[in-house]
Structure 1
Amino acid sequence: MRRWWLRPVLALTTVAATLVATGLPAAACGEDDKPAAQVKRTAGDPGAVKGVRAVGNLPDAQGAISANFLQYGRRDVMVVSGEFGLKVYDLTRNPAAPKAIGQLSLPGLWETEDTEVDAARKLVFLSRDPRAFDGNTHTGESGIYVVDLSRPESPQILSYVRVPAGHTTSCVDGCRYLWTGGPAKADDQPADWGGRPVWVTDVRDPRHPKVQPDPIELARNDGKTDYVHDVQVDAAGVAWVSGRGGVRGYWTSGLHRDPVQGRVRRATADAPVPYAGGGVAETAAPSRFLHNSFHPVGPAADGAWRGHDLVYATEENFVDGCAGDGVLTISSLAGSYGGEGWRSTPSAPFRLQTVGTWSVEGQEGSDPASDDCSAHYFDVRGHVLVQSFYAQGTRFLDVSDPTNPRQIAYYRPADASSWAPYWHDGYVYVADNARGVDILKLTV
Structure 2
Amino acid sequence: MRPMHPAAVVTAAFLCLASATQTRADPIPPGAVGQNVEAVGYSNLNDKPGFKMSIQKVGERWYLYIGMLWNEGWEIVDVTDPADPKVVKEIQGPDNTATDQMEIADGKMITALARISPGWGGDPNKPFDEGVLIWDLKDPLNPQKLGQYKTGSLGTHRNGYQGGKYMHLSAIMPGYKGNIYVIVDISDPAHPVEAGRWWVPGQKDGETPAAPPGTMLHGPAFIVGNTAYLPYGGAGMIILDIADVAHPKKIGQLSMSPPFASSIGVHTVIPVPARGLAFINSEAIQEDCKEALQNASIVDISDPAKPRLMALFPLPLPPSDWPIKSFCERGGRFGPHNQNTLLHNPFVQPQGDLVYLTYFNAGLRIYDTSTPTAPREVGYFLPPDPTHRYGVFPKGKLVAQSEDVLVDTRGFIYVTHKNQGLWILKYTGK
State TM-score, norm by structure 2: 0.73
1:18-97 equivalence runs, <5 A = 28-29=2-3, 46=31, 48-60=33-45, 62-82=48-68, 83-92=71-80, 94-97=81-84
User: Kindly tell me: are residues 327 and 359 of structure 1, through their superposed partners in 2, closer, same or farther at Cα, counting changes over 3 Å?
Assistant: farther
TM-aligned CA distance change 1:279 to 1:313, over 3 Å:
same
Task: Verify: 1:239 aligned to 2:228, yes or no.
Answer: yes
- 5 Å-filtered alignment, 1:281-300, equals 282-283=258-259, 289-298=265-274
Query: Is the CA contact (8 Å cut-off) linking 1:130 and 1:141 kept in structure 2?
Result: yes
CA distance 1:317–1:426, change in 2 (3 Å): closer
> Which residue identity does 2:180 align to in structure 1?
P
- Confirm or deny that 1:388 pairs with 2:358: yes
Structure 1 counterpart of 2:402, from 407, 415, 418:
418
> In structure 1, what is the equivalent of residue 337 of structure 2?
376
Instruction: Decide which of 165, 172, 176 is 1:176's aligned counterpart.
Output: 165
1:66 to partner: Cα distance: 1.1
Shift of 1:102: 2.4
Deviations 1:266-300 (A, max 9, x none): x22x33344444323634556562111100132xx
1:140 offset after TM fit, Å?
6.5
- Give 3-state SS (helix, strand or coil) of 2:45's partner: helix
Letter paired with 2:266 = L
**How many residues get paired?**
358
Deviation string, structure 1 residues 223-267 (Cα, Å, up to 9, x no partner): 7383111024255463211122011223434xxxxxxxxxxxxx2
Letter matched to residue 112 of structure 1: D
Matched, 1:333 2:288: no
Aligned partner of 1:397 in structure 2 is: 367
Mapping 1:181-330, distance limit 5 Å: 181-182=170-171, 189-190=175-176, 193=177, 195-212=178-195, 215-219=197-201, 224=211, 226-234=215-223, 236=225, 238-244=227-233, 245-253=235-243, 267-268=244-245, 270-280=246-256, 282-283=258-259, 289-298=265-274, 304=275, 309-319=276-286, 321-322=288-289, 324-330=292-298
1:354 alignment partner, one of 305, 309, 313: 309
Q: Shift in Å at residue 334 of structure 1?
A: 5.4
AA matched with 1:76 = W
Name the CA distance, whole Å, in 2 between partners of 1:373 and 1:64: 19
Change (3 A) 1:56 1:158: same
Rounded to whole Å, the distance in 1 between the matches of 2:363 and 2:188 is 40
Higher relative contact order (CA 8 A, sep 6+): 1
Q: How large is the Cα RMSD of the aligned pairs? A: 3.3
The answer (yes or no) to whether the contact 1:235–1:296 under 8 Å persists in 2 is no
The unaligned stretches of length 5 or more in structure 1 are 1-26, 33-44, 254-266, 299-303, 341-351
SS of corresponding position for 1:168: coil
For residues 78 and 361 of structure 1, the distance between their equivalents in structure 2, rounded to whole angstroms, comes to: 28
2:135 to 142, 147, 153: 147
Task: After TM superposition, give the deviation of residue 378 of structure 1 in Å.
Answer: 0.8
TM-score by length of 1: 0.71
Deviates more, 1:402-411 or 1:388-397: 402-411
Which sections of structure 2, spanning at least 5 residues, go unmatched? Answer: 7-29, 204-208, 321-325, 341-349, 387-399
| Greater Cα shift, 421-430 or 233-242 | 233-242
- Is contact 2:98-2:114 (8 Å) kept? yes
Once the 2 structures are TM-superposed, how far is the Cα of residue 373 of structure 1 from its aligned partner? 0.7
- Give the deviation of 1:371 after TM superposition: 4.0
Q: Deviations over 1:305-324 (max 9, x none)?
A: xxxx2221111133453384
More deviation, 408-417/217-226? 217-226
1:174-215 C-alpha deviation (Å, 9 max, x unpaired): 3411122256x7xx635xx3x121222211111222235x73
Asked if the contact 2:40–2:82 (Cα under 8 Å) also holds between the matched residues in 1, the reply is no
% of aligned pairs identical?
18
